[in-house]
Amino acid sequence: MTLQIQSHQEHAPQELPQVLVLEPPNVFKAYEKQFLEKFQFLKAWESEIPTEQFLTTHARSIRALLCSDWTPITADVLRLLPSLRVIVTSSAGLNHIDLSECRRGGISVANVGTVFSEDVADMAVGLLIDVLRRITAANRYVKAGLWPIKGDFPLGSKLGGKRIGIVGLGSIGLEVAKRLEAFSCSISYTSRKKKPSISFPFYTNACELAANCDILIICCALTNETRHMINKEVLSALGREGIVVNIARGAIVDEKELVRCLEQGEIAGAGLDVFENEPNVPTELLVLDNIVLSPHCSVLTEESFRDMFELISGNLEAFFSNKSLLSPVFDE
Amino acid sequence: MTLQIQSHQEHAPQELPQVLVLEPPNVFKAYEKQFLEKFQFLKAWESEIPTEQFLTTHARSIRALLCSDWTPITADVLRLLPSLRVIVTSSAGLNHIDLSECRRGGISVANVGTVFSEDVADMAVGLLIDVLRRITAANRYVKAGLWPIKGDFPLGSKLGGKRIGIVGLGSIGLEVAKRLEAFSCSISYTSRKKKPSISFPFYTNACELAANCDILIICCALTNETRHMINKEVLSALGREGIVVNIARGAIVDEKELVRCLEQGEIAGAGLDVFENEPNVPTELLVLDNIVLSPHCSVLTEESFRDMFELISGNLEAFFSNKSLLSPVFDE
């Protein structure tokens, strides 16, 4: 062990493989020391010269890029990096990367796979119980000293028996389903296509799903097809007793329409971890009582960060030693 | 159906069987109209004469009593009611009733059995996720507009893999275990005695259990044996990373000691639906950030109330027609 540490320390940073970072992902900040033992980072965000010039300067040497989901990797960025061969993103979602341009340019992409799926599913269930049983409001009630004055807290709604509609039955959706079955909920779903191995009822679109359930949980990826998929028609099909939980991406929901439905009581409540224009949240939502909001933190646990650090490092190490990526997005 | 309603209406209230109520349970308030179709109520709390005199006046006729868990049915009360033959309580807990005196006097007791178990278990899981993933604090963060200013929310802690210790593996404890297994938690428990049909590891007391788990969930009844069972020693065995969730009765935990441990960081957090001196909550708890408080509302759902109304009515109807109680506390 001592030997190993010495061997790490003996590497001068300039001998370590070089990775470009435009803006530091959270995991980079949390595990910077550990990352620096393995890689040398070109930190575009610390440079005083404009990003484009920074990229042009280093263009020839940059073969690997680490990014998070809030750094768009557009065709324009890719054009500046002709030697780029791998992008590792600290997200499960890929909507910030121009994937067709990557394919065309022979650039491999690795995401963090299912590292977050359990945490995100836990958060979905936590937000849902919170909305149904008004835990956040109850906490406010007690802390404001209202219990001795106003007496019993209003009745909540029971989770057991609720009809849950999962929008997008990927790894997160399946984890949500597994959890909510243990609460005696019934599960149905919509997805690009019916999954032959799954016995939950399938609906061909979100609107039909919404018409047949009490609660919609959004678990799909943001793509051109899913943008604003949860629109006025879907929310109206869900109805006045309906609840929306979104732990996927804000833009899958037509946020203006959601705000209107919540304000006018056209749906009953919402638990939202994601928003269309983060970190900005529509001000109308800040004053509503029938919603619970969290700041896109469904993936933020110490355990996920450790797993994510290991997976990102593993992907970069695999790339630099000409091995297969651990969590490739394209078939290799 | 019309005939049935007419038949109800034809009953003059004084012909309906008589039930004493000292203070109205919540369910009585919520379902008063439906109760009044079936029974005639002697409402002690509405009378201007003192309760003792009220009871003495009606002593001979009172055979049935409906109460909730915040009305103590002591030996003194029972002595005033020599004709009493049944007590129906709108609670699962029985610590407010002098059960030995009831047995001695040949008074049957019915509680609401397991009507609440699922709701209480849901609340336990909701409080736990809230504490681990800081949902209530996250909601405060977003609503206070801190997200755009301060950026990412602090890391939470992952539920999956946590070692859950259930104190009291009755119907609520079993429902909690079923739910948390679906989150990939490991379960162990303590109970008056080991349950032969259960495969979860058993510890003979709360202290040993606490030493072997990350999270204690209190699910047992309040009795002389369990009062202040979760004391300084148990909390210290749970340790600095430990979390306590209490959805049972406040007095099972030594509240002063719990407050001290939370203030001094000797445990990591708590989710509390119950308190020693409800509706009063220790003021120290109101300012702590590592806890989530709710006002004894784990049973308060519309669905539970409907089920509870039906079970209470059913018990009273059974009594008045000389049938077996639906949910007797003593073997009959």
Confidence of residue A2 (pLDDT cuts 50, 70, 90): very low
Percent of chain A with pLDDT over 70: 96
- Structural domains in chain A, CATH included, are 2-115+302-320 (3.40.50.720), 117-293 (3.40.50.720)
State whether B295 and A152 contact (CB < 8 Å).
yes
Separation of first and last alpha carbons in chain B:
35
A155-186 per-position pLDDT tens digit: 999 999 999 999 999 999 999 999 999 999 99
For residue B134, pLDDT over 70 is answered with yes
State whether B133 and A305 contact (CB < 8 Å).
no
For residue B129, pLDDT over 70 is answered with yes
Amino acid, single-letter form, for residue A285: L
Confidence of residue B11 (pLDDT cuts 50, 70, 90): low
A contact test, residue of B116, B185, B294 with most A CBs within 10 A: B294
Residues B194-205 have a mean pLDDT of 97
Q: Which residue of B has its CA nearest to A277?
A: B148
Cα–Cα distances (Å) from B292 to A195, B78, B179, B243, B275, in that order, read: 39, 39, 20, 11, 13
Q: Are A214 and A186 in contact (CB under 8 A)?
A: no
Torsion of CA A181, A187, A192, A194, to 10 degrees: 90
Q: Closest approach of chain A CAs to the CA of B278, in angstroms?
A: 8
Distance CA A265, CA A215 (A): 15
For residue B332, pLDDT over 90 is answered with no
Q: At what angle do helices A117-133 and B135-143 cross, to 10 degrees?
A: 80
pLDDT of residue B7: 44
pLDDT of residue A294: 98
ipTM: 0.91
For residue A211, pLDDT over 50 is answered with yes
Distance CA B267, CA B263 (A): 9
Percent of chain B with pLDDT over 70: 96
For residue B10, pLDDT over 70 is answered with no
**Using CB atoms, which residue from A129, A139, A294 is nearest to B293?**
A139
For residue B15, pLDDT over 90 is answered with no
Beta bridge partners of B301: A156
A contact test, residue of B29, B31, B129, B296 with most A CBs within 10 A: B129
Give phi and psi for B87, each to the nearest 5: -120, 125
Which one, of B224, B126, B23, lies nearest residue A152 by Cα?
B23
**Using CB atoms, which residue from A135, A295, A297 is nearest to B294?**
A135
For residue A6, pLDDT over 70 is answered with no
A129 contacts in chain B (CB < 8 Å):
122-123, 125-126, 129
A118 contacts in chain B (CB < 8 Å):
158-160, 183-184
Q: Closest approach of chain B CAs to the CA of A28, in angstroms?
A: 13
pLDDT of residue B6: 42
Give alpha helix (H) positions in chain A.
Answer: 2-10, 26-30, 32-36, 51-58, 75-79, 99-105, 117-133, 135-143, 147-150, 171-181, 206-211, 232-238, 255-263, 283-287, 302-320
- Does the bond joining B279 to the residue before it have cis omega, within 30 degrees of 0? yes
pLDDT of residue A332: 59
For residue A53, pLDDT over 80 is answered with yes
For residue A3, pLDDT over 60 is answered with no
pLDDT of residue A4: 43
**Using CB atoms, which residue from B123, B152, B153 is nearest to A133?**
B123
pLDDT of residue B60: 87
Q: Which residue of A has its CA nearest to B121?
A: A183
**Using CB atoms, which residue from A125, A145, A297 is nearest to B156?**
A297
For residue B193, pLDDT over 50 is answered with yes
B155-179 per-position pLDDT tens digit: 999 999 999 999 999 999 999 999 9
SS3 A291: strand
Average model confidence (pLDDT) for chain A?
94
A296 is catalytic: yes
A58 is catalytic: no
pLDDT of residue B149: 97
Residues B19-45 have a mean pLDDT of 94
pLDDT of residue A224: 94
